Structure 1
Amino acid sequence: MMKKAFTILAISCMMYSCATKTESNPFLTEFQTPNGVPPFDKIKMEHYEPAFLKGIEEQNQNIRAIIDNPEKPSFDNTIVALDNSDPILNRVNPIFFNMIDAETTDSLTKLSIKVAPLLSEHGDNISLNSDLFKRVNAVYLQKDSLHLNSEQLRLLDKTYKSFVRAGANLDTEKQTRLREINKELSTLGLTFSNNILNENNAFQLFVDKEADLAGLPESFRQSAAEEAKAAGKAGQWLFTLHNASRLPFLQYSENRPLREKMYTAYINRGNNNDANDNKKIITQIIALRQEKARLLGFDTYANFVLDETMAKNSSNVMELLNDLWGYALPKAKAEASELQKIMTNEGKGEKLEAWDWWFYTEKLRKEKYNLTEEETKPYFKLENVRDGAFSVANKLYGITLTPLKGIPTYHPDVEVFEVKDADGSQLGIFYVDYFPRPGKSGGAWMSNYRDQQGDIRPLVCNVCSFTKPIGDTPSLLTMDEVETLFHEFGHALHGLLTKCAYKGTSGTSVARDFVELPSQINEHWATEPEVLKMYAKHYQTGEVIPDAIIDKILKQKAFNQGFITTELLAAAILDMDLHMVTDVKNMDIIDFEKQAMHKLGLIPEIAPRYRATYFNHIIGGYAAGYYSYLWANVLDNDAFEAFKEHGIFDQQTAGLFRSNVLEKGDSEDPMVLYTKFRGAEPSMEPMLKNRGMK
C-alpha cells in the first residue's frame, strides 16, 4: 500500500499568536542534519501544533505574494510558486501523519483530531481563493502558447483541475457548504481509523492450557508466550488480531472454537456497538462524499474520484471487476469443495466455515504439494529477504543501499540506508520499520518524509508488521510477508528513483490505479528461482534453498487464488457499491454490505477482504480506488512478460522501465508512460494465467 501525507492546503494565521514559544522548534527551519533527515531525537510533542500554525501562516503569506505580484501571471510566478509555497508544512506534515500510523500516542491522536479540520479549512482557503484561481486560470488559458515541456504541462493541468475539483467555480453558497463537508470528513476519517487501531489492540486471546495450542508451531507458541509475559500473564500464551499473530493462528490451530473466536473478532471490528463502533461514521462519510460529488457536478462520488484516474469512470471499473468475478468465484467454489472433502474425510460431520478456510487450506497445500510455511520460513530470514530485494534493485538498476548509523529515528526498530546510483550519486535516504507494536496501525505502506524535487533527493520509508524475532530466533517470514516486503520496496523504488523538476509531479504522485504498478511488478522477482537462490538461505546452516522446495513454491503459486482473488474482488466491489450510491438516507451499512455480497453470489465461507466498518483503505486514499490493485495487476503481469521475454535482469528492459515509469512520476499521462515502456497497451491474459484462471 502506498501512503502519502496529505497535501496541506490552511487555517487562519491569526491563531499563531496564541501558540507556544517556538524558537527551538526544529520544523521551522531546514533540518540541520546530515542529508536533511528528520531530527527525530529533537522533535517533541509540543513542536507539532506550533509548526502547523506557523506553516499555515507562511503559506498564506506566500500565496498573498503570488496574488499581489504585479507581473503578468506565468508558469513560474504562479504555478511553480504555488507548488513551492509550503516549506514548513512540507516538513511537519509527512512526519506527523506517518507518526499517527507508525508510532501513535494518545497525545498525537488528540492533536490529529484537533488539527484535521484546521488543515481542511486551510486547504479550502487556498482552493477557493478567487484571486489565486484567476491567476492559475490565466496561465491555463494560455498553455498552448507557453512552450512548456510535458512535465510542466502536466503540473499546470493538475494544478488547474485541483482548483476546479475543489470547487473554485462554485457559487458562494455551495463553496460554504463544501467547506463544511471537507472539515467534517477530515475529522470523521481520523476517528474511523483510530477506532480500528483501538479494536486491534483491545482484542487479546489468552490461552492458559497447553492442550489448546494443538497444531501451533513451536516458534509461534514461543512468540505467544513472550507476548503474554509482556502483558503481565507469564505462563500463558497471547494471540492478537495483528496479521503476524492472527493468520498463523487461523492457519495452524486445531482448536476450532478458538479459531472461530479469533476470526469473528477480526471481521466484527468497528461493528460492536461500543465506543469504537464505525457503522454510523462510515455511513456519514459516504453521505458527505456523495453530497460533495453532487456539488461538484458528478452523479456519484465514484465518478468524481475516477475522473482523474486511468479507469476514468465507474463503468470501466465495474466492467473489469465483473469480468474477473466470472473467473474467480467458480474457482473459489471449487476450492471450497476440496476443503469440504478433507473435513468430511475426518468424520466429524462438520461443515466448512469461514474460520476453517486457512486451516484446511494449509492441510490441502501439504497434501497437494508437500509444502508448509514451516518448511519455507527457515529460508526467509527477514534481513536476507530485505538484502535480496536490494540485490534485485542493484542488478536491475545499478543502485546500492548501505546502512547508515547514527541517524535519528522514532523507534529502535527503525533502520536507515543511503541509496546511491551506479555512478555514486545519491538517490535518497531509505527508512525501514518492520515489526508490529501497539502504537502502529496494521498492514504495510510506503510514504515520504521529503519529496524529490529537482536536486532535492527524497527521504522514503517502508512501514510493515512482520513476524518479530523470538529469543535467539530471528524474524522468519511467511511467503506472503516476503512478497509484501518486495511490494513495499517497489513503492520505495518509485519514490527513490524519481527524477522530476517539481514536487507536484514527482515520485508516487500519480493516478491511484497506476501507483501499484511499481510495487506489484517488484513482487514477481521474489519467487523467481534465480532470485530465491540469491537470498533464501537457511538461517541456521546458511544452506541455499533446495531446488525441490523452489519447485514446490512455483507449483503452488496459483494455489488458493480463487479465495485470494474473490475476497479482494468482493472488497473492491463493496468499495465501488458504497461510492456509487445516490441515496444514503436511512442506510443500514451492515445490511447494505450483506445485500451487495448476496447480489454477487459470494459464498458464506469467504468474507470481503475488508468489511465496511474496518475498510481503512477507503478512508486513507483508496475510496472508489480499491480496484486499483487489480487494475495494476493487469499492468504488472503484462509488464513482467517483457522481462520474461528478454531475461529477468535484462538491462535494456530494466532501463526502459526505469526511464518511463520509475523516474517519470506523474510527468505524463500514465498510459502514455506505460506504452512507451511496453510498446502497447496491456493485455489481461498474463494476469489470468498467473492466477490460474486460464
Structure 2
Amino acid sequence: MALARCGKFLLSQRILSTSSRLQHGYIILLPEIGEEAPEKNPLYENDGLTKFNEITIENCRSAIAKQALEFELGIQKIESEIEENYYEDVFDSIIQPMEKLGIPMETTWGLSKTLYLGNNTLMPTSSYMAIHDRGRRARAAKYTSKKIHFAIKEAFLKETQRTTEENRILQKFVLEGKLNGLELNKKDSDIYSYHFGKLVPEKNQFKVKVDLGLKQHSQMIRDPNIVRDFPEDLLKATAINPNKYMSGPWKFTLLPQVYGPLMEHCPDPEIRSILWRANANRGSVGGERELATSLHVEEIRFVKRNMAKILGYETYVDMSMETKMAGSRLEVDQFIRRLLAYARPAQEAELQSLVEFANERGYKTDKLELWDVPYWRRKQQKHLYHYSDNDLKDFFPLNTVLDGLFQLCEKLFNIIIKARSGVSTWHKDVRFYDIFEPHSSAPVAGFYFDPYARSEDKIRLQNSGWMVGMQSRSQVTDTKPLAALIFNFEPPTGDKQSHLSFKEVKILFKKFGHSMQHLLTRTFYAEVAGLSNVEWDAVGTSGNMLTHWLFNEDVIASISSHYGSGDKLPKSIFDNLCKAQNHMAGLDLSNELYLCALDLELYSSNDFWLDIARRLWPQYKHFKYEWKIDAHPCQFTEIFLEEWGAAYYSHLWSRMLAADVYSAFYEVRDDEQQIKDVGKRYRDTFLALGGSQHSSQIFREFRGRDPSHKALLKSLGLKKNKEES
C-alpha cells in the first residue's frame, strides 16, 4: 500500500468497519477457491515468465484466493509471535516474512490487471474487480494490525543502527498505522469507523449521478456544414452509423472523448454554447434535480474533515501533507502564488490576442465566451504555427519512435534494452523486452509492450496508456521488476505500419519514463521499491521528465522518419511544434492553478462549495463566473472519487520537479560526457532509490538544492516576473 497517497488509508479502513479484529484478531471470510488445483495452475509454475496462453480467469481467481488467504493467515501467525514475544529483530521476524507472503499475491494481482487492460475478453471487468478487491482487502491486513503497528513503532523509536532504507520502511508502517486509526482509543476508533462507513455510499451515489449526467444531453446534427472541419475520428465518434460517417446524421454528446474535440471543431457558436451550458450544469440543482451531486459533495467533505480531526489534524489538507513532498499547505500555497504571478498576466494577453484574431475572421465581439475559446484557440494555433497534431503522424512510425526512445534511455541510464522472442503473451501483437546492465549477462528487469487498439477485447479511453507494475524487485524473494506498457495506438493497415500523433508520442514517452522508476530500482525491499512509498506529489517526475526530451532536435531526429520519403522532421516544422506546445500556456496554467486551489480550499474550509468557487474564480480566471449555471465543483471526480483529494496540486508539482530535473541535462547539453554523468546521477537517485528516501532528499542529492519553479515556467515559455525577488 503506497504511502504516497493521502486517502489510501481509507481503503484499508473498510476492514476496520466490518470486523472486531482490533481486539480479537481477524475475522476472515473464506474466499471461494476455484476448482482447479494449485499444482495445475500456470501461475505457480516456476519457469520464469507467465504462460499467458494457458491462463484462464479461474486460474487467476483461484490463485489470488489462495495467496490472499495465506497472506492473512501469515499475518495472524506474525501477530501471535509478537504476542508471545517470540521475535527479536523486527526485520527478520516481521518485515521479511510479510514480504515473502506478499510478493506472490502482488504478482498475481499485477498479472490480472495486465490482462484486464490488455485483453478484456480474457479478464472481464467484473472478474478483475473481484480479484482487485480480494487482493486489496488482504494487503490491508499488514497496515491495519495493531500488534504489528506497535511492534514496529517500538522498534522505530529505539536508537538502533539501521540503513536509511530500513528506517524509511519502519517510518512508513508507523505512519500508515497512524493514518489508519490504529492509535485511537476505543471510542474514537468507533466514531472513525462510523464516519468511514458513511463515506463509501456517498462516493458511490456521487459516481452514479456523475455517470448518468454525462448521458443526459445529446443534439442530433444533420447539416454537413457543421461537421465539415471535423477530423475523421471525431466524425466516426459522433456519426449514428460510423460506417457512413460522412453522410450523417451525427449525435453530439457530453462524453469526454467527444465533448472536448467538439468544442474545438464545431463552427456554430450557438451549438457550442448549448454544449457548454449542458456540461457546466451537470450536478447542479438547477439541472436534473435527481442527478444533483451538491449534497454528496458536502457530505464527502464533512466526513473527511471529521476523520482528519479524529486523527489529530486541523484539516484534511494537513493530513494529506503527511505523505507529500511539499510537506505543508503553506509550501503549496506559495508554489501556486509564484506560478500565478506569471500565468495570470500571460492569460490576459493571450485572450486579447485571441479576440483580435477572431475579429479579423469575421467574429465580431468585444470578448470571447468560455465556449468560444477552444474553437478559436485551435484555429489560431493552426494559423500561427501551421500545426495540426494529426498532420505530423506520417513522421512518427511506431517502430522508429520506439527505437529512438530506447536509444535515449540506454544512453541516459547506461542500460541495454533487447527484444526477446518466443515469450508467451496475451495477444500476438504484444512484445517482450529484457533490460540488461552493461556488466550483467542476465537481465535485471523486463517489460511487455502492447501497442495497438483492439476494439473487441481492449479497454479504450481517449489518449489512454497504462504502466502496470506486474512484479516488484525484492532481494528478500529474489524477484526482478516486471512491467506492462499498454496503449491504444492505431494498428498497422496494409503495408503501412502504425504511426503516432505527437500527442501519442508524448504519452509513450511519459509512460515509459514512469516504467523506468519501477524497472530500474535497486532497493532491497519491495516495500520501498520503484514507485512504492514515493510521495504522491513526486510520483509523476520520471514520466514527465522524459517528455522534455521530445523538444531536443537530436531526439526528434532519432524518432522521426516520413512514411513516404523517410525524411526526418524538418527543422522548420520542429520549431513550430515547440512553439505550438506553449500556445496559450498562461491560460492553461491559470486553469490548472485554479483547480489546485479549489481542491485545497474545499478540503480545508467549512464554507459551502459554491461560496468557495465564487471567491477563488476571479483570482485565477479572466471570465465572469456564471455561478447559476456552472457547477463544475460538483463534477470534480478526481478529488471526490479518485485519490487526488487534497492532492490535486501533485500533477503540477511533479511537472515542476521534472522540468527542474531536465534542466540539469539541458545545462550541459553541449557535452556528451556530462550528459551521461547527469544521467548516471539521475539513475543513482530518482530511479535507484525509489521510495527508500524522502523525495525532497532524493531531489537534493540529484540537484544539490531544493526544487525551483523557474524551469517549469521556462519550459512553458512564460517570461520572468520582474517584481519577483
2:569 matches 1:545? yes
Shift of 1:576: 1.2
Q: 1:651 aligns with which of 676, 682, 688?
A: 676
Which digits, 9 at most, give the CA deviation of each residue in 1:514-565, with x for residues without a partner? Answer: 1121111111111211111111222333221111111222344432101221
Aligned residue number for residue 628 of structure 1? 650
Per the normalisation by structure 1, the TM-score is 0.85
Is the 1:121–1:183 contact (alpha carbons within 8 Å) kept by the matching residues of 2?
A: no
State which drifts further: 516-525 or 7-16: 7-16
Which digits, 9 at most, give the CA deviation of each residue in 1:310-353, with x for residues without a partner? Answer: 11111111111122122212211211111111222233435522
State which drifts further: 101-110 or 512-521: 101-110
Return closer, same or farther for 1:109/1:58 CA change in 2, 3 Å cut-off. Answer: same
Return closer, same or farther for 1:601/1:213 CA change in 2, 3 Å cut-off. Answer: closer
Is the 1:31–1:38 contact (alpha carbons within 8 Å) kept by the matching residues of 2?
A: no
2:662 matches 1:637? no
Shift of 1:430: 3.3
Shift of 1:616: 2.7
Q: 2:708 aligns with which of 679, 683, 686?
A: 683
2:186 matches 1:172? yes
Shift of 1:413: 6.8
State which drifts further: 418-427 or 404-413: 404-413
Is the 2:234–2:261 contact (alpha carbons within 8 Å) kept by the matching residues of 1?
A: no
Is the 2:105–2:135 contact (alpha carbons within 8 Å) kept by the matching residues of 1?
A: no
Equivalences for residues 518-597 of structure 1 within 5 A:
518-582=542-606, 587=608, 589=609, 592-597=612-617
Tell me, in whole angstroms, the C-alpha distance in 2 between the residues paired with 1:409 and 1:227.
36
2:427 matches 1:418? no
Tell me, in whole angstroms, the C-alpha distance in 2 between the residues paired with 1:101 and 1:281.
30
Is the 2:300–2:640 contact (alpha carbons within 8 Å) kept by the matching residues of 1?
A: no
State which drifts further: 641-650 or 591-600: 591-600
Is the 1:514–1:632 contact (alpha carbons within 8 Å) kept by the matching residues of 2?
A: yes
State which drifts further: 490-499 or 358-367: 358-367
Aligned residue number for residue 22 of structure 2? none
Shift of 1:657: 0.4
Which digits, 9 at most, give the CA deviation of each residue in 1:546-600, with x for residues without a partner? Answer: 11111222344432101221221122112212221346xxx4x566545442454
Return closer, same or farther for 1:609/1:157 CA change in 2, 3 Å cut-off. Answer: farther
Tell me, in whole angstroms, the C-alpha distance in 1 between the residues paired with 2:215 and 2:488.
14
Aligned residue number for residue 492 of structure 1? 515
SS at match of 1:354: coil
Tell me, in whole angstroms, the C-alpha distance in 2 between the residues paired with 1:541 and 1:477.
17
Q: 2:355 aligns with which of 319, 340, 365?
A: 340
Return closer, same or farther for 1:670/1:679 CA change in 2, 3 Å cut-off. Answer: same
Is the 1:16–1:57 contact (alpha carbons within 8 Å) kept by the matching residues of 2?
A: no
Aligned residue number for residue 387 of structure 2? 371
Q: 2:479 aligns with which of 449, 456, 474?
A: 456
Tell me, in whole angstroms, the C-alpha distance in 2 between the residues paired with 1:21 and 1:400.
41
Aligned residue number for residue 672 of structure 1? 697
Tell me, in whole angstroms, the C-alpha distance in 2 between the residues paired with 1:33 and 1:40.
16
Return closer, same or farther for 1:116/1:280 CA change in 2, 3 Å cut-off. Answer: farther
Tell me, in whole angstroms, the C-alpha distance in 1 between the residues paired with 2:316 and 2:612.
17
Tell me, in whole angstroms, the C-alpha distance in 1 between the residues paired with 2:426 and 2:209.
23
Tell me, in whole angstroms, the C-alpha distance in 2 between the residues paired with 1:670 and 1:150.
13
> Root-mean-square deviation (CA), in Å?
4.2
Which digits, 9 at most, give the CA deviation of each residue in 1:422-454, with x for residues without a partner? Answer: 345322223445649684455544331222222
Is the 1:381–1:539 contact (alpha carbons within 8 Å) kept by the matching residues of 2?
A: yes
Shift of 1:419: 3.3
2:192 matches 1:160? no
Tell me, in whole angstroms, the C-alpha distance in 2 between the residues paired with 1:196 and 1:120.
25
Aligned residue number for residue 511 of structure 1? 535
Is the 2:272–2:372 contact (alpha carbons within 8 Å) kept by the matching residues of 1?
A: yes
Tell me, in whole angstroms, the C-alpha distance in 2 between the residues paired with 1:406 and 1:226.
42
SS at match of 2:45: coil
SS at match of 1:213: coil
Shift of 1:136: 1.4
Is the 1:533–1:545 contact (alpha carbons within 8 Å) kept by the matching residues of 2?
A: yes
2:48 matches 1:32? no
Is the 2:116–2:122 contact (alpha carbons within 8 Å) kept by the matching residues of 1?
A: no
SS at match of 2:371: helix
Tell me, in whole angstroms, the C-alpha distance in 2 between the residues paired with 1:326 and 1:309.
24
SS at match of 1:449: strand
Is the 1:402–1:418 contact (alpha carbons within 8 Å) kept by the matching residues of 2?
A: yes
Instruction: Supply the AA of the counterpart residue of 2:472.
Output: D
Is the 2:590–2:620 contact (alpha carbons within 8 Å) kept by the matching residues of 1?
A: no
Aligned residue number for residue 264 of structure 2? 251
Is the 1:328–1:566 contact (alpha carbons within 8 Å) kept by the matching residues of 2?
A: yes
Return closer, same or farther for 1:255/1:84 CA change in 2, 3 Å cut-off. Answer: farther
Tell me, in whole angstroms, the C-alpha distance in 2 between the residues paired with 1:464 and 1:192.
29
State which drifts further: 396-405 or 233-242: 233-242
Tell me, in whole angstroms, the C-alpha distance in 2 between the residues paired with 1:646 and 1:540.
36
Equivalences for residues 43-442 of structure 1 within 5 A:
43-44=56-57, 53-69=65-81, 70-87=86-103, 89-95=105-111, 126-142=142-158, 144-145=159-160, 147-182=161-196, 185=199, 207-217=221-231, 219-220=232-233, 223-224=236-237, 228-229=241-242, 245-260=258-273, 263=276, 273=288, 278-350=293-365, 351-403=367-419, 415-422=431-438, 423-426=440-443, 427-432=445-450, 435=453, 439-440=459-460
Return closer, same or farther for 1:333/1:279 CA change in 2, 3 Å cut-off. Answer: same
Return closer, same or farther for 1:116/1:523 CA change in 2, 3 Å cut-off. Answer: closer
Return closer, same or farther for 1:106/1:457 CA change in 2, 3 Å cut-off. Answer: closer
Shift of 1:367: 3.1
Instruction: Supply the AA of the counterpart residue of 1:156.
Output: L
Shift of 1:100: 6.9
Shift of 1:502: 0.8
Tell me, in whole angstroms, the C-alpha distance in 2 between the residues paired with 1:564 and 1:234.
35
Gaps of 5+ in 1: none
Is the 1:229–1:236 contact (alpha carbons within 8 Å) kept by the matching residues of 2?
A: no
SS at match of 1:461: strand
Tell me, in whole angstroms, the C-alpha distance in 2 between the residues paired with 1:605 and 1:613.
16
Q: 2:686 aligns with which of 639, 656, 661?
A: 661
Tell me, in whole angstroms, the C-alpha distance in 1 between the residues paired with 2:377 and 2:598.
25
Tell me, in whole angstroms, the C-alpha distance in 2 between the residues paired with 1:492 and 1:207.
43
Shift of 1:141: 2.3
Is the 2:656–2:708 contact (alpha carbons within 8 Å) kept by the matching residues of 1?
A: yes
Tell me, in whole angstroms, the C-alpha distance in 2 between the residues paired with 1:184 and 1:95.
33
Shift of 1:230: 6.5
Shift of 1:163: 1.2
SS at match of 2:314: coil
State which drifts further: 404-413 or 163-172: 404-413
Which digits, 9 at most, give the CA deviation of each residue in 1:352-385, with x for residues without a partner? Answer: 2223222212222233333333443332344443
Is the 1:561–1:691 contact (alpha carbons within 8 Å) kept by the matching residues of 2?
A: yes
Gaps of 5+ in 2: 20-25, 720-725
SS at match of 2:69: helix
SS at match of 2:323: coil
Aligned residue number for residue 693 of structure 1? 718
Is the 1:536–1:545 contact (alpha carbons within 8 Å) kept by the matching residues of 2?
A: yes
Tell me, in whole angstroms, the C-alpha distance in 2 between the residues paired with 1:617 and 1:415.
36
State which drifts further: 611-620 or 626-635: 611-620
Instruction: Supply the AA of the counterpart residue of 1:597.
Output: W
2:465 matches 1:447? no
Q: 1:19 aligns with which of 21, 32, 46?
A: 32
